[in-house]
Amino acid sequence: MKKILNKYKTCCFKELIMATIILVTFGCGESNPLEYPRAPFPLYVPGEIIAVLADTVSESFFNSFVKQMKIEVLNRNYSLVEFWIEVLPDSITHTINHLLKYDIFSGVTEKDYPYQDKDTNKKYIFMFYKYGKDASDVNEGKNAIETLKLILKRIVIRERGELTVVFKVPVGLEDYWCQKLKNYNFVYSCNRNSISITH
């Protein structure tokens, strides 16, 4: 009886080894969750390029340059304009709800005030401009706050730094446009807009 059991164990062990070799060699087929379709890398967004321009490029110069080049802007970075509103503790929710009605603000939330002129008996609401507005539009935010009769405690403008722009160009001419833009000394770099793939 013992010999029969040992023979059975040896047989099962051999079958297990064979099954493992087959799985490693041929994989688990389409049901294997670790299998991903392979694609050439890098991939690019057709008709899009990204250019980095010097931080000395003003808004007016940039707008004139875009018009001259007859090129479309898909996206870009702006100076960040932050607003701090001073309110009484029992009016936070009411004030935030009113501010959210204005389409120009984003990130409207109660936040600890980080500056020295803080009043410990007050609470503070922080917000910033939505994409597309910068320091040149600062009065629009101030006017909205004054209309609501709120106390504007502080405006903080964080400069844009280098100007990063996504341009739309004809599909197939991405490299041509990159080289064309690189001929201007205020264009630090220009490349096709790549897609990052993560699993």
What is the per-residue pLDDT across 95-147, written as a single tens digit (0 to 9) for each? 999 998 888 999 999 999 999 999 999 999 999 998 778 888 899 999 999 99
Residues forming beta bridges with residue 124, ordered by sequence position = 86
Nearest to 166 by CA among 49, 66, 44, 43: 49
Which numeric CATH code is attached to 80-158? 3.30.70.60
Alpha helix (H) residue ranges in 27-125: 59-69, 92-99
pLDDT of residue 5: 42
In the block, residue with structure tokens 């309110």: 87
pLDDT of amino acid 192 = 94
Could you give the CA distance from residue 130 to residue 70 in angstroms, rounded to a whole number? 26
Nearest to 144 by CA among 119, 127, 124: 127
Average pLDDT of every residue of the chain: 83
User: Going by C-beta distance under 8 Å and a sequence separation of 6 or more, which residues neighbour residue 81?
Assistant: 128, 129, 133, 134, 135, 137, 138, 141, 155, 156, 157, 158
pTM over 0.85: no
Residue type, position 16, single letter: L
Instruction: Name the β-bridge partners of 166.
Output: 50, 75
Maximum CA extent, the chain: 96
Quick: pLDDT tens for 5-27: 444 444 554 555 555 554 444 45
Domain 43-76+161-195 of CATH type 1.10.3470: no
